[in-house]
């Protein structure tokens, strides 16, 4: 294999990594563990910059185009990494999740999480309907995401609804049998 073929292979790999990162960010797919999902999301955003940067640095024909476009993606990746490092001063980009209640439905499940962004933020409640696709990956639909909320419980309210009690207030949410599909 020649050096040019190796370079083209690396460029195609970078392009596919960028496409895979974009699909992950746009699709309603999530990791089962919300903390792992946040880490994957952070890496996917970084992959949106690094993948196309590598691809443009190897696949574009003219040298000035390779330098210009790959430098732009490199700068964006560096600024994103710098932003992540600076956010560590304020507690970091990762929010803690505590499972408060889980309700198993015939085709999916509904999970109530308490979110904790650190000392500078109040607790929040996040209610998510999810269906397992493969081990570790779920198709998710957010039903509720609130701030300044502390306790939540779930109760079935029929075949297509769930009754959510958040800090004493009740709300009814319609659930879909297959989340989005």
Amino acid 3: pLDDT? 61
pLDDT digits (tens, 9 = 90+) for 5-25: 667 788 888 889 888 999 888
Q: Taking 60 as the threshold, does the pLDDT of residue 78 lie above it?
A: yes
Average pLDDT in the 38-52 region? 91
Q: Which residues pair with 137 in a beta bridge?
A: 31, 134
pLDDT at 2 over 70: no
Q: Give the torsion sign (CA, 59, 64, 67, 72).
A: negative
Every domain of the chain and the residues it spans? 3-90, 96-174
Whole-number mean pLDDT of the chain?
86
69 vs 57: CA distance, rounded Å:
7
What does the pLDDT look like over 118-167, one tens digit per residue? 767 788 999 999 998 889 899 888 999 999 999 999 999 887 889 999 99
Quick one: pLDDT at residue 5? 66
pLDDT of residue 178: 74
The residue ranking higher by pLDDT, 93 or 27, is 27
Distance CA 9, CA 153 (A): 51
In which order are the strands placed within the sheet that holds 29-31? 29-31, 137-147, 124-134, 109-116, 96-104
The pTM assigned to this predicted structure is 0.76
* Residue 89: pLDDT over 90: no
For residue 121, the model assigns a pLDDT of 75
For residue 84, which of 37, 52, 45, 124 has the smallest C-alpha distance?
45
């Amino acid at each position: 294999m020649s050096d040019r073929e190796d370079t083209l292979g690396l460029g195609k790999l970078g392009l596919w990594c960028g496409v895979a990162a974009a699909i992950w960010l746009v699709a309603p797919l999530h990791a089962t563990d919300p903390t792992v999902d946040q880490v994957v999301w952070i890496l996917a955003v970084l992959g949106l910059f690094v993948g196309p940067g590598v691809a443009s640095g190897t696949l574009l024909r003219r040298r000035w185009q390779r330098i210009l476009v790959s430098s732009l993606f490199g700068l964006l990746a560096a600024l994103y990494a710098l932003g992540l490092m600076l956010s560590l001063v304020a507690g970091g980009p990762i929010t803690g999740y505590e499972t408060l209640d889980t309700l198993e439905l015939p085709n999916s499940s509904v999970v109530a999480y308490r979110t904790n962004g650190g000392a500078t933020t109040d607790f929040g409640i996040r209610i998510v309907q999810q269906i397992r696709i493969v081990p570790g990956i779920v198709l998710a639909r957010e039903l509720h995401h609130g701030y300044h909320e502390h306790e939540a419980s779930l109760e079935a309210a029929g075949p297509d609804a769930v009754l959510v009690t958040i800090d004493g207030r009740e709300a009814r949410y319609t659930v879909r049998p297959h989340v989005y599909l």
